[in-house]
Amino acid sequence: MRQLSRPVLIAVFVALVPVAVRAAPQLIVTISEVPVGDQGAVAAGALEVSSDTDLIGATLSASDLTSAQGTIPAQAITFDPPVIDVTAGSIYTATISVQIPGAQPVGTYTGTITATDGAVQSAVALSVLVNNRPALVVPGPQTVTAGATLSFNVSATDPDREPVVLTTRFLPDGAEFVDHGNGIGTFTYRTEPEAAGLTVTLIFFAFNGADAGVPPQDAQEVSISVIAPTPTSIAQKIADVMALLSGFGVRRGIEHSLMVKLEQARNSIDRGNTTSACGQLGAFVNETRAQSGKALATGQAAQLIASVGELLTTLGCR
């Protein structure tokens, strides 16, 4: 009798090997400097871009910035650079510039910055604080006699009580501007005799102290005309020196001696004798210098010498 064979069982073992699933690449954008600016200015800020993988051509863009007060359109927001190549593990910085319209209401405006290479994308919230712009005050048109010195102050205030920086540009020869750091600046112009007939237009600028270097928040012009000296103008300046000396209460003999020299110089000017006037004014300076710290206080002598020194320059004395 035929024997049936036993069934043979063949076991097949399939080893299940775990397959590594690669995490999606990450693009990280953070705001490193929040833009703050005044009306009519550029609010400057900065952001940082990083990634855990190499990304070529990560493009930066922004949405509109909105608040209860209004909107700053996305077109007013620019980046430098606008496109960044990101190397894995590196951090790249881009500047943010927000052009704030001059009539933009103050307040905090929020929106979104997006960075993307087309496949990988990241977004971060952006806030921009709009301040009041500082107000600059300057004098009206100025006139100075050639050879004389002109000096005046400009000032600015900021409604947000922030510090203000004052500047000017393209100063003429002999001019300087000093920002005292308290919202007041002093302009001084020591003109040369040959500057007669010159007209100078200066532009003074006021910046919010935190935004110096961006377009100025306020700018004002001052026109300066340099005129030729006339006998009348020079005689008046001599009279001004005489009044200054008279107010010092100097001992009578010394005052009389100095007054005589000034009077002689004025008479010489009336006669058109500039050479004699120069000599008499020079003698006044010499005597004043000799009396400094004696009949005249040092400060008094310095004022008199400075005033007559301008006259000597105006007259072109050697």
pLDDT at 256 over 90: yes
135-227: CATH topology is Immunoglobulin-like (2.60.40)
Of the pLDDT bands very low, low, confident and very high (cuts 50, 70, 90), residue 75 is very high
Of the pLDDT bands very low, low, confident and very high (cuts 50, 70, 90), residue 210 is low
Of the pLDDT bands very low, low, confident and very high (cuts 50, 70, 90), residue 161 is confident
Q: Give the start-to-end residue ranges of the domains of the chain.
A: 27-131, 135-227, 231-315
* C-alpha angle 206-211-216 in degrees, rounded to nearest 5: 35
Rounded CA separation 277/314 (Å): 12
Mean pLDDT is highest, among 9-23, 201-215, 264-278, for 264-278
- Per-residue pLDDT, 60: 94
27-131 against 135-227: fold identical: yes
pLDDT at 9 over 60: no
Question: What's the rounded mean pLDDT across residues 298-312?
Answer: 94
Beta bridge mates, 96: 45, 79
Give the chain's mean pLDDT.
88
Is the CATH code 2.60.120.380 the one for domain 27-131? no
Q: Which long-range contacts (CB under 8 A, 24 or more apart) does 45-48 make?
A: 45/95, 45/96, 45/98, 45/128, 46/93, 46/94, 46/95, 46/96, 47/79, 47/93, 47/94, 47/96, 47/113, 47/124, 48/91, 48/92, 48/93, 48/94
